Structure 1
Amino acid sequence: MISAEPPADGPSVLPVHSPAKARIVSAAADLFAEHGVGGTSLQMIAAAIGVTKAAVYHQFKTKDEIVVAAVEEELARLTGAMDEAEAEAGASAELVREALLARIVELALDRRRMEFALVGDPVIGRYFAGHEPFRRVVERLYRLLTGEAGPEARMRAAMLTAAIGGAAMHPLVAELDTETVRAQLLDLGRRFLDLPG
């Protein structure tokens, strides 16, 4: 169970790790996506990269530190996607939503199992629920996607991002080519957000 304090600053750029730490975080994130945080042990992480558990401990003192590092990377990618969407679209809220939807779909496809599974893990959700920088990233995402604030906007954005992440990694679409999945996710996302097709 996660017990360490979350990081004080919100993710604005992708964290820089040594090659050894980066390998651990990458392997851990894959395992978290497959087994959840609670179902992933340090031994599993060590085995995935072919090192001893002691070698993992040499880089990270606790599993909590690995979880935080993995979440920071995913949130930094999400923050980057929002920054890019706003820079590309300018002042038009509709164009920002369209650009952000495309980037969220790309993140989901690129990381197929990891992106939304990691951020949506219930252990991580409880851990970061009261963490202000995490909440700011999520609130910004919801505001950009819906153009609104409040409970209904949060639910709409939460349902959309969960649907994109869930659909991208669902067994029923595992055999579909990436282009088909991308086209379907964009089409359904546009309809959900009432964007022109």
Structure 2
Amino acid sequence: MVSTGGSLPGGYSVAQERVIAASLELFGAHGVSATSLQMIADAIGVTKAAVYHQFKSKDEVVIAVVAGELAALVPAVEAAEAEPDRQAARDILLARIVNRMVTRRRLTRVLQYDPVVVRLLDEHPPFVRFMDRLHRVLLGAGTDPAARVNAAVMSAALSASLIHPLVTDVDDATLGRHILTVARRILVPAEN
């Protein structure tokens, strides 16, 4: 079961969890758009009808996958929201985001740039609410263009740097430490 603090979908059956796990691997390898329900069914050794029995559509599978990934950040968002110091709150969340992205490099690219995922993040109310919370921690009251541009640049830089050929051989701990340093530098001007 995915624990989300009630803000994201969760509570999947064992059969649904198998579909989600296979989808995670396939999405990471091929992207969401290039992964079919038949590919998912083949990966877990069932028929496509069996996958449809667990999820009514591919969008529902994608929502489940994204919900699981975002749910992993819920404790960090909650801890950051409870932190009275804005800088400390942002650091708590940023460190967790960077760690999650670094340890799941291949999937990060898919979740950031796949058009299906982008559309679902924009259209699915629980995702919109969660992303609003995350952005409030990162930006504070900074809704001005400079703060939003800094956050967008930081997000894009994070994603792109994870899959860049120059860092494919860099271990997760080293990469994470350097990316976190750069991300902090990018976000700081948003306060000035």
Please give the TM-score of this superposition, normalised by the length of structure 1. 0.80
> Are 2:115 and 1:122 equivalent residues in the alignment?
yes
Task: Tell me whether 1:38 sits opposite 2:50 in the alignment.
Answer: no
Gap change, CA 1:106 and 1:11, over 3 Å in 2? farther
Partner of 2:182: 188
Equivalent residues of 2:89, 2:137 under 8 A apart: yes
| SS of alignment partner, residue 193 of structure 1 | helix
Q: Counterparts of 2:165 and 2:100 in 1: how far apart (Å)?
A: 18
Percent of matched pairs sharing the same residue: 47
Unaligned runs of 5+ in 2: none
- Relative to 1, partners in 2 of residues 1:31 and 1:186: Cα closer, same or farther, differing over 3 Å? same
| Structure 1 residue 66: Cα displacement | 0.7
C-alpha RMSD over aligned residues: 2.4
> Equivalences for 1:30-109 in 2 at 5 Å?
30-87=25-82, 90-109=83-102
Give the deviation of 1:171 after TM superposition. Answer: 3.5
CA offsets 1:86-114 (integer angstroms, 9 cap, x no match): 34xx2100111111111111111232222
Residue identity opposite 2:37 in structure 1: L
> Which residue among 151, 162, 165 is the counterpart of 1:168?
162
Moved more, 109-118 or 61-70: 109-118
Residues 11 and 81 from structure 1, CA distance in 2 versus in 1: closer, same or farther, beyond 3 angstroms? same
Match of 2:132 among 121, 127, 139: 139
One-letter amino acid matched to 2:40: I
Measure the CA separation in 2 of the matches of 1:157 and 1:116. Answer: 17
**Equivalent pair of 1:46/1:56 in contact (CA under 8 Å):** yes
Q: Tell me the equivalent position of 1:4.
A: none
Q: For residues 192 and 56 of structure 1, what CA distance do their matches in structure 2 show?
A: 43
Moved over 3 A (4+): 130-133
Aligned-residue offset at 1:52: 2.7
CA distance in 1, matches of 2:125, 2:47: 35
- Note if contact 2:79-2:89 (Cα within 8 Å) is conserved in structure 1: no
Question: How many residue pairs end up in the alignment?
Answer: 184
The question of 1:20 aligning with 2:7 is answered no
Q: CA deviation at 1:116?
A: 5.4
- 8 Å CA contact 2:76–2:93 kept in 1: the answer is yes
Q: 1:29 aligns with which of 14, 24, 38?
A: 24
CA spacing shift, 1:80–1:166, aligned 2, 3 Å: farther
* CA distance 1:79–1:120, shift in 2 (3 Å): farther
